[in-house]
Amino acid sequence: MLKERGYVYGQHHAPHDISVRELGTGVSRWESARKIGINFARIPRVKNKIDSINAARRILDVCWFDEERCSLGIDRLEAYRKEWNEHLQTYKPTPLHDENSNGADAFQTLAMGHKFHQAPGAKRTIKRVSAGGWT
């Protein structure tokens, strides 16, 4: 269906758990995707969450988002934040797990799998972007 719309794909990235087998069928999502011609690059689970957060920060300056079609994803990234510890009156070092963290995790998976391609000798311009609750 997506090929019929004229989209051209480079590479698909999937989180580490794409290889998990579904209880009902015993088939993994990775296997199901391959059967319909989609080949995923499996992105390993990060040992430290901050590594994937930093990867997402680094890739933001080369991303372009369609404000209309990506509005929900943009909202999720902007609302991603650390968890607040009410007792200690400080932020925990971990993100708040809510509807925003799922979208941010998907973007972090992209960032962890992305390879920057740059012409030799080209200078990369850095554009500062607010990272919402992670500034």
pLDDT in tens, 12-36: 889 988 989 988 899 999 999 999 8
Alpha-carbon span 77 to 64, nearest angstrom? 13
**Ranges of residues in the chain whose predicted pLDDT is under 50:** 118-119, 126-129, 135
pLDDT the model gives residue 92? 94
pLDDT the model gives residue 12? 85
pLDDT the model gives residue 61? 85
Which distant-in-sequence residues (6+ apart) come within 8 Å of 57 by Cβ? Answer: 131, 134
Entry pTM:
0.72
pLDDT the model gives residue 9? 75
pLDDT the model gives residue 135? 43
Query: E strands of 4-130, at which residues?
Result: 12-14, 40-42, 82-85, 90-95
